Structure formats: structure tokens, C-alpha cells
Amino acid sequence: MTLSKIALAMCCVGLMAGAAQAQEAGTLKKIKDTGIISLGNRESSIPFSFYDNNHNVVGYANDVAQAIVAEVKKDLKLAKLDVKQTPITSQNRIPLVQNGTIDIECGSTTNNADRQKQAAFSNTFFIIGTRLLTKTSSGVKDFADLKGKNVVTTAGTTSERLLREMNQKDNMGMNIISAKDHGEAAITLHQGRAVAFMMDDALLAGERAKFKDAKDYSIVGKAASYEAYGCMMRKDDPAFKKVVDKAVADYQKSGQAQKDYAKWFQQPIPALGGVNMDFAPSAEMAALWKNPNDNADVNSAK
């Protein structure tokens, strides 16, 4: 064998060893070594991630998470993979991903440029518009109608940031109430302490569905932004992201995503007493199911 052939062979061996080492590093190694994958779940992000009456985590995002768990188990060739669920909030979700408490969080977290500096995101599993939930009789039809009024949103969300920017830029004089979670924000609205609740339209539909007088409330306004939900994980772990992205893409292309969407958004939900959110899939969702991707800037196509 010539020296050039020996060098080439050694290079190939090195590349294969490097690939194997990469596969056995980071989150995948952690999961394989412990036999546990740690998921972050929201407690009241209906119908994405919330607790049913038996305190089990359920919802559309949880279905996505379970598809990821199955793919990780398959990729690592594990006979058994235990799942640990950890409740998280808008405020602590990024630190808990960063410090390794949870391996991945699938809830209602927006993938954007700021958050990409702190964490990585999977292929998008949902696209929303940030709008307003209000009592139909309130007279609020769009954001301009909020001038001088009490408005509630959820602390630590992109909606809170957008609302504060709007308030300052347009000198609207709104009194912005930051609730700890979506459930508390909805209660604030329902009790009349705020005239509107700004949040992602799908989440607003979920909160409205819990009201006994849901028919008296409307989701209104031109979307202040369109946002992409992704599952969040630690940065600089391409091997894990590759497995996660494959799971989400297969879930969407197989048609299972559409079936689960119908289950949570267009049919009675047993975990919520049989309420129906009656929230049809948007054109953006239909396009996403056909072409899975991790593009965070969904506003660029608007």
C-alpha cells in the first residue's frame, strides 16, 4: 500500500471515529447512559401542553414530544426509555434547558432570533398569530381600541414584549397586566379586570374554551406577529437536533400531525369536559405539514 493510500485510509478511520464520538456525545449520550429522557411541559398551555383530570400531561405539543421520544429510542436502539416530565413556566424554561434539568421542551415556545442565542429549536410544529381575546360586547375590534385600557398578557412571552413596544411607540397609555401563566391571564379577563387578553390565537382559543360563557367571547384583531413554535433544546448539539428534526418531519409528513390537530382543535376534548375549540388549521399550518422546516421568520412570508 502506498503512503498516499495509507494516509487516506487513516483519514477515513478518523472521520468514522469522529462521527461515532459525536453520536455518543451530548444529549444523546446522556439519555443513553441514564435510560431517561427529560421533557419540559407546560401546566396550562391549552391545548398544547396541560394536565388532564388525572394529572397526566396531554396536548398537541405533548403528542409531538412523544413522537420525538419514540425516534430517540429507535435511534439509540434502546429496549426501554423512561420519560421524566418536569413542569416549566415562561420564565424558567430556557434556564432549565440550559442547565440540563430538561433535555427538550415542547409546549408553546416561540422560535426567534433572540432565543436562538440561548437555545436551539426543532422543526416548527405550529404557526400562530398574536391576537386578542375579548368579550364580544367590549367594542374592542383591534389593537388600536386598547388605548387607555387595561390589557392582560402572560409574563415572559413575546406577546408581553410586543404589547409593551406597541404601548411605548404609539403612546397608547395602556395598563399592561403581566400574569404568571395563561390560565391566570384568562381569569383576569373573565373577571373584568382587563378588557382584552393578548396572546397566540391558538392559546386564546384554548382559554376561551374553558369559559362557561365562551360564546360571549371573540378572538379579534389583525395579527401583531406570526410566530413559529418549536421544541427547545440545548445549543451546539447537532446530533440530537438531527434526531429531533427527523421525528417532527416524519410526524408531519405521515399525516399523524393532521390527525392530532383535529383531535385537539376540532373535536370535543374529554380532558376539558368535552369542549370543542373549533379552531380550523390555517393555510400556514397546511403548508408546514407539506414542507417541514425550522424557519423562525414566518413573518417574512406575510
The answer for residues whose C-beta is within 8 angstroms of residue 142's C-beta and 6 or more apart is 132, 220, 221, 222
Choose between 18 and 224: higher pLDDT: 224
Q: Is residue 146 located within the same domain as residue 253?
A: no
Region 126-151: what's the mean pLDDT?
A: 97
Q: Is residue 118 located within the same domain as residue 235?
A: yes
Of all residues in the chain, the percent with pLDDT exceeding 90 is 81
Domain extent for 86: 27-128+227-290
Q: How confident is the model at residue 22 (pLDDT cuts 50, 70, 90)?
A: very low
Indicate whether 19 pLDDT > 60: no
Region 238-267: what's the mean pLDDT?
A: 98
Give the span between the Cα atoms of 215 and 117, in whole angstroms.
41
Q: Is residue 33 located within the same domain as residue 118?
A: yes
Indicate whether 143 pLDDT > 80: yes
So what's the pLDDT on residue 197? 98
Give the span between the Cα atoms of 99 and 225, in whole angstroms.
30
Q: How confident is the model at residue 218 (pLDDT cuts 50, 70, 90)?
A: very high
So what's the pLDDT on residue 272? 86
21 domain residue, yes or no: no
Q: Which of 204, 226, 248 is the last residue of a domain?
A: 226
162 domain residue, yes or no: yes
Which amino acid is residue 240, in one-letter code? F
Q: How confident is the model at residue 208 (pLDDT cuts 50, 70, 90)?
A: very high
36 domain residue, yes or no: yes
Q: Is residue 182 located within the same domain as residue 150?
A: yes
The answer for residues whose C-beta is within 8 angstroms of residue 263's C-beta and 6 or more apart is 60, 269
Q: Is residue 56 located within the same domain as residue 198?
A: no
Region 263-271: what's the mean pLDDT?
A: 94
Indicate whether 250 pLDDT > 90: yes
With beta carbons less than 8 A apart as the criterion, state whether 230 and 123 touch. Answer: yes
301 domain residue, yes or no: no
Task: Provide the domain count of the chain.
Answer: 2
Q: State the chain's mean pLDDT as an integer.
A: 91
Which amino acid is residue 125, in one-letter code? F
So what's the pLDDT on residue 8? 47
150 domain residue, yes or no: yes
Q: Is residue 122 located within the same domain as residue 145?
A: no
Helices assigned H by DSSP within 153-234: 158-169, 182-190, 201-210
Q: Is residue 110 located within the same domain as residue 47?
A: yes
Q: How confident is the model at residue 3 (pLDDT cuts 50, 70, 90)?
A: very low
Residues in the chain: 302
Q: Which of 195, 226, 257 is the last residue of a domain?
A: 226
246 domain residue, yes or no: yes
Q: Is residue 39 located within the same domain as residue 82?
A: yes
Q: Is residue 249 located within the same domain as residue 133?
A: no
Q: Is residue 255 located within the same domain as residue 233?
A: yes
Q: Is residue 216 located within the same domain as residue 150?
A: yes
Q: Which of 226, 252, 279 is the last residue of a domain?
A: 226
Q: How confident is the model at residue 298 (pLDDT cuts 50, 70, 90)?
A: confident
> What sign results for the dihedral spanned by CA atoms 112, 99, 49, 155?
negative
So what's the pLDDT on residue 210? 86
Indicate whether 180 pLDDT > 90: yes
10 domain residue, yes or no: no
So what's the pLDDT on residue 26? 94
Helices assigned H by DSSP within 170-296: 182-190, 201-210, 238-253, 256-265, 283-290
- Taking phi first (over 0 means left), then psi (-120 to 50 degrees means alpha), and beta for anything else, what does residue 81 get? beta
The answer for residues whose C-beta is within 8 angstroms of residue 168's C-beta and 6 or more apart is none
91 domain residue, yes or no: yes
So what's the pLDDT on residue 171? 97
Q: Is residue 117 located within the same domain as residue 238?
A: yes
Lowest mean pLDDT among 12-26, 44-58, 213-227: 12-26
Region 81-92: what's the mean pLDDT?
A: 94
So what's the pLDDT on residue 2? 52
Kindly report the pTM of this predicted structure: 0.79
pLDDT tens-place string over residues 230-247: 999 999 999 999 999 999
Which CATH number belongs to the domain containing residue 213 in this structure? 3.40.190.10
